[in-house]
């Protein structure tokens, strides 16, 4: 039987149109505490959240993210950061040299833990009547974000979250059939192509309904994005931040 939490999760949709109403500090704190309460690798707690409410700072982030105006318009923006700066302080305290941030494992761990934090923040925010939209576009210009928010070495901005009270309700986006997501015992490849064909037809109707017929469908949109490294500055900036990814 579904409970209220599951109903909120299943009813998720991204919101890009917000009221000007500010969010009370007690609500912001509840969202942050919920995010921090999620599990993390080895209890290293190698993530941090930058809470941004300043109008000029949000406007700069919106520009760095490729002109995503809803970042500017939302009263609250959360930046989720992979943070091995904190763990390096622990290493120094114990007379040790940290190496994890130089490895691919650190990139994976950091991204997974940020995802757990953000998932909890999303559910918490939506349960409180707020709307959200995740922002991967902060990786469009990661150095700009790093400089703007004074992120130290051994940290990296992974994703952001715009939060505010919805000014309008967006249409819920259909997902691929559940059997393309759930694989029992072993990965199942048999019907994937057929299911993608059917989903493309569904998404064509969806995009027409929201006046984005030029997007065509899921496979066209996804493949046109993934035919290139669409945020090419990530790798060199990660290297500059100390994430060598060579171990």
Q: Give the tokens for residue 136.
A: 């991967």
81: which strand partners?
A: 48, 157
pLDDT score recorded for residue 136: 98
* pLDDT tens per residue, range 113-150: 999 999 999 999 999 999 999 999 999 999 999 999 99
pLDDT tens column, 171-184: 899 999 999 999 99
The continuous run of DSSP H or E covering 35 comes out as helix 25-36
Per residue in 93-117, pLDDT tens?
999 999 999 999 999 999 999 999 9
**pTM of structure:** 0.96
Residues of the chain with pLDDT > 70, as a percent, come to: 100
What domains are defined for the chain?
A: 4-171+233-240 (3.40.109.10)
> Mean pLDDT in the chain?
96
């Amino acid at each position: 039987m579904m409970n209220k939490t599951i109903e909120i999760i299943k009813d998720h949709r991204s919101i890009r149109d917000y009221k000007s109403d500010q969010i009370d500090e007690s609500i912001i704190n509840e969202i942050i505490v919920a995010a921090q309460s999620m599990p993390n690798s080895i209890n290293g707690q190698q993530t941090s959240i930058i809470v941004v409410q300043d109008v000029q700072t949000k406007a700069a982030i919106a520009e760095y993210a490729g002109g995503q105006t809803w970042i500017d318009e939302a009263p609250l923006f959360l930046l989720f950061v992979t943070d091995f700066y904190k763990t390096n302080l622990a290493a120094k305290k114990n007379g040790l040299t940290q190496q994890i941030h130089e490895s691919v494992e650190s990139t994976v761990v950091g991204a997974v833990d940020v995802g757990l934090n953000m998932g909890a923040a999303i559910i918490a925010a939506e349960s409180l009547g707020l709307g959200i939209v995740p922002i991967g576009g902060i990786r469009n210009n990661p150095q700009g974000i790093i400089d703007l928010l004074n992120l130290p070495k051994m940290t990296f901005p992974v994703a952001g979250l715009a939060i505010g009270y919805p000014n309008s309700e967006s249409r819920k986006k259909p997902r691929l059939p559940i059997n393309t997501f759930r694989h029992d015992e072993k990965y199942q490849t048999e019907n994937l192509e057929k299911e993608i064909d059917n989903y493309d037809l569904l998404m064509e109707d969806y995009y027409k309904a929201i006046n984005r017929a030029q997007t065509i469908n899921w496979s066209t949109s996804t493949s046109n994005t993934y035919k290139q490294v669409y945020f090419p500055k990530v790798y060199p900036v990660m290297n500059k931040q100390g994430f060598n990814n060579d171990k």
